């Protein structure tokens, strides 16, 4: 194995390693740890100034996870699990960032991370059977294996509105919030976007603002988080048998240990359905409400519509102004076909006298001017604009490394011109020794990502170890296997309601992006079995040399 030479990076000479990892979030950190333990020399290249990924960048008010933190944690080391205690059911961004810093310290990971270093391009050298990565800071890297742990939600979507540069006030992006914080007290503020970041930040911004105007294009379903201590029932399940709890999560559909429901909606009376729904609404648990109401909720339009009606009824009871309540009600997608949001007082915030909702379906934004925002009907003078406009999800950060050139000089952007094609969401035909963590074609954003990340990292590092031990130097998916996976993805999506929604899962939020359902909808447990079966059948669908 090639030895890592840390001094190479500083001297500008090419840095030689076995494995280069891009990103130092949840995925990059665990990769570094596993690769080192397996005896590979490695370096992680990270654009940010420290570890944390998502939790380094997203420092907006109210930023927190929406999968319970006892589930949204590493599980690879039982001692790590007991060394850290979460303070809340849904931890805040600062606490999750502290946790990832704690993990980096515990396993001494920072010494192999080059911070403030963006990978700008990558090229496969056929003769040497190595990747060469270009960076914007310091030495390029030559590696046998190139792993992108660049995140599904790490490339913020730029604003699509004319005139942002003309605006004389302050502009902030939730995905790039200033580290020193922002004083919003007494300001006239506009928030553009009502996805998860908007829904989490709006109630807190409203408390500080003199006036808050929320510009909404598409309403989302939001459910109360009921944050507080981790619930007793979940904690006792975890503490009763930690290993079994974690294993159940790995085999589950969404990466959180809940059973598959078997009763379908039409077997339940109205009263029984309402009782199920009220229980779920009271729990404040995203995965519970997404999976535990009735068996057909995610696969049958009518079974799903019952839930949409019940949530819309909740909005009517919370929001006092009927016109605002109506505008906040989603009608364009089934519940769960787009990631619902967890909120703390989101709908109630619209009852505040200093908060107004502008429905962009009725009055689109025409321009941003020096003083504020102009719609088809009105203009709004503001001091601050907050863009909570989301991400170029799943492929944005991968495609931002440009070009990624594989075998025969093929560029990944050309191969993906009609949408991402992958084998298992892990690899791409024509790009040997190249891997993606939670790439398009894997369960990724439809799961508890901590579980999906660990599964990908373990699978990849185990394969690299086996290849090394067997004397192979390259691994590459076949075109046939990739086409088969594409077909399987399409078949699975026909069974769910995701195909009925235009969302960031399909790229619909980014102008010009090819529409294709990017995450695998077949579930975390079934997906894991497929990855294991690929190995059990002699690396089915891969060519090894």
Binding site for ligand FAD (CB under 6 A): 22-28, 45-48, 53-54, 56, 58, 63, 65-67, 72, 118-119, 149-154, 197, 397, 400-401, 437-438, 448-449, 453
**Minimal distance, residue 97 CB to ligand FAD, in Å:** 10
Residue 274 neighbours by CB under 8 Å, 6+ apart: 310
Q: Smallest distance from the beta carbon of 373 to ligand FAD, in angstroms? A: 24
Instruction: Quote the least distance from Cβ 402 to ligand FAD, whole Å.
Output: 9
- Least Å distance, CB 269 to ligand FAD, is 34
Q: How far is the CB of 300 from ligand FAD (least distance, A)?
A: 26
Let me know the angle formed at the C-alpha of 376 by 372 and 382, rounded to the nearest 5 degrees.
15
Q: Please state the closest distance from residue 99 (CB atom) to ligand FAD, in A.
A: 11
| Cα distance between residue 417 and residue 173, in whole Å | 28
- Backbone phi, then psi, for 367, in 5-degree steps? -165, 160
What is the C-alpha end-to-end distance of the chain, expressed in Å?
17
Residue 480: how many CB atoms within 10 A of its CB?
A: 11
Nearer to ligand FAD, 188 or 528 (CB): 528
Q: Tokens 């699509």 identify what position?
A: 160
- Taking alpha carbons only, the member of 482, 476, 486, 481 closest to residue 520 is 486
Using the minimum distance from each CB to ligand FAD, give the nearer residue, 22 or 276.
22
Please, what is the minimum distance in Å from the beta carbon of residue 49 to ligand FAD?
10
Q: For residues 397 and 497, which CB has a smaller minimum distance to ligand FAD in the complex?
A: 397
From the number of C-beta atoms within 10 Å of its C-beta (0-12, 13-18, 19+), residue 423 rates as buried
Residue 416 — φ and ψ, nearest 5°? -95, 15
Q: Which is nearer to ligand FAD, 53 or 432 (CB)?
A: 53
If DSSP codes are grouped into helix, strand and coil, which group holds residue 96? helix
Nearer to ligand FAD, 56 or 124 (CB): 56
Q: 220: part of which helix (H) or strand (E)?
A: none
| 197/359 with CB nearer ligand FAD | 197
As a whole number of angstroms, the distance between CA 322 and CA 390 comes to: 28
Q: What single string gives the DSSP state of each residue in 305-328?
A: HHHHHHHHHHHHHH-SSHHHHHHT
536, 543 in Cβ contact below 8 A?
no
Of the pair 153, 464, the CB lying nearest ligand FAD is at: 153
Specify the residue, 69 or 482, whose C-beta has the smaller distance to ligand FAD.
69
Token pair 């006030």: residue: 169
Q: Which two tokens stand for residue 248?
A: 């159940």
Residue 72 beta carbon to ligand FAD: minimum distance, rounded to whole angstroms: 5
Quickly tell me which residue has 């496969």 as its tokens. 124
Nearest distance, CB of residue 516 and ligand FAD, angstroms: 20
Please identify, using beta-carbon distances, which residue of 228 and 536 lies nearer to ligand FAD.
228
Burial of residue 377, with CB atoms counted within 10 A of its CB: 0-12 exposed, 13-18 middle, 19 or more buried: exposed
How far is it, in rounded angstroms, from Cα 407 to Cα 411? 9
Cα dihedral value 222, 226, 228, 229, nearest 10: -100
Distance CA 150, CA 155 (A): 9
Task: Return all residues near 269 (Cβ < 8 A) that are at least 6 apart.
Answer: none
Burial class (CB in 10 A: 0-12, 13-18, 19+), 460: buried
How far apart (Å, rounded) are the C-alpha atoms in residues 432 and 442?
19
Tokens of 259: 């059973």
> Residue 476 in contact with residue 427, Cβ under 8 Å?
yes
Give the nearer residue to ligand FAD in terms of CB position, either 382 or 397. 397
Nearest approach, Cβ of residue 67 and ligand FAD (Å)? 4
- If the CB atoms of residues 149 and 290 are measured against ligand FAD, the closer one turns out to be 149
CB of 35 to ligand FAD, least distance (A): 15
How many secondary structure helices (H) and strands (E) does the chain include? 18, 20
Q: How far is the CB of 473 from ligand FAD (least distance, A)?
A: 25
90 vs 335, beta carbon nearer ligand FAD = 90
Nearer to ligand FAD, 23 or 140 (CB): 23
Cβ 66 vs Cβ 227: under 8 Å: no
Closest separation between CB of residue 416 and ligand FAD, Å?
16
């Amino acid at each position: 194995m090639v030895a890592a030479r840390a001094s190479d990076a500083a001297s500008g000479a090419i840095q030689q390693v076995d494995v280069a990892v891009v990103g130092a979030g949840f995925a990059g950190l665990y990769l570094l740890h596993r690769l080192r333990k397996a005896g590979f020399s490695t370096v992680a290249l990270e654009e940010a100034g420290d570890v944390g990924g998502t939790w380094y960048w997203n420092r907006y008010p109210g930023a927190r996870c929406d999968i319970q933190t006892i589930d949204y944690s590493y599980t690879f080391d039982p001692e790590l699990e007991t060394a850290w205690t979460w303070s809340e059911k849904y931890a805040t961004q600062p606490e999750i960032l502290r946790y990832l810093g704690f993990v980096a310290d515990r396993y001494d990971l920072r010494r192999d991370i080059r911070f403030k270093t963006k990978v700008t391009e990558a090229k496969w050298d056929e003769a040497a059977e190595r990747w060469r990565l270009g960076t914007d800071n310091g030495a390029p890297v030559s590696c046998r294996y190139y792993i992108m742990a660049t995140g599904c939600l790490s490339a913020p979507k730029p604003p699509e509105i004319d005139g942002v540069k003309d605006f004389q006030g302050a502009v902030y992006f939730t995905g790039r919030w200033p580290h020193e914080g922002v004083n919003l007290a007494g300001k006239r503020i506009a928030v553009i976007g009502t996805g998860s970041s908007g829904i989490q930040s709006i109630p807190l911004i409203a408390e500080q603002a003199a006036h808050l105007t929320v510009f909404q294009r598409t309403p989302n379903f939001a459910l109360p988080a009921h944050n507080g201590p981790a619930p007793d029932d979940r904690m006792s399940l975890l503490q009763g048998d930690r290993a079994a709890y974690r294993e159940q999560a790995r085999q589950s559909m969404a990466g959180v240990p809940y059973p598959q429901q078997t009763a379908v909606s039409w077997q339940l009376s109205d009263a029984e359905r309402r009782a199920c729904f009220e229980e779920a609404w009271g729990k404040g648990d995203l995965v519970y409400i997404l999976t535990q109401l009735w068996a057909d909720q995610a696969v049958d339009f009518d079974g799903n519509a019952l839930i949409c009606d019940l949530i819309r009824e909740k909005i009517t009871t919370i929001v006092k102004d009927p016109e605002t309540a109506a505008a906040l009600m989603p009608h364009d997608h089934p519940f769960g076909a787009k990631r619902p949001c967890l909120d703390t007082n989101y709908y109630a915030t619209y009852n505040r006298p200093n908060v107004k909702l502008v429905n962009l379906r009725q009055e689109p934004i025409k321009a941003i001017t020096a003083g504020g925002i102009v719609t088809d009907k009105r203009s709004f003078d503001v001091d601050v604009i907050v863009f909570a406009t989301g991400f170029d999800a799943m492929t944005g950060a991968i495609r931002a490394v440009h070009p990624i050139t594989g075998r025969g000089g093929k560029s990944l952007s050309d191969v993906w011109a009609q949408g991402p094609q992958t084998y298992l969401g892990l690899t791409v035909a024509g790009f040997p020794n190249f891997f993606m963590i939670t790439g398009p074609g894997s369960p990724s954003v439809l799961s508890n990502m901590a579980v999906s990340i660990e599964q990908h990292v373990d699978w990849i590092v185990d394969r690299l170890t086996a290849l090394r031990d067997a004397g192979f130097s390259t691994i590459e998916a076949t075109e046939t296997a990739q086409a088969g996976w594409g077909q399987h993805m399409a078949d699975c999506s026909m069974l769910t309601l995701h195909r009925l929604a235009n969302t960031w899962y399909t790229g619909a939020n980014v102008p010009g992006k090819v529409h294709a359902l990017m995450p695998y909808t077949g579930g975390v447990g079934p997906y894991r079995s497929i990855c294991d079966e690929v190995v059990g059948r002699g690396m089915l669908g891969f060519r090894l040399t």
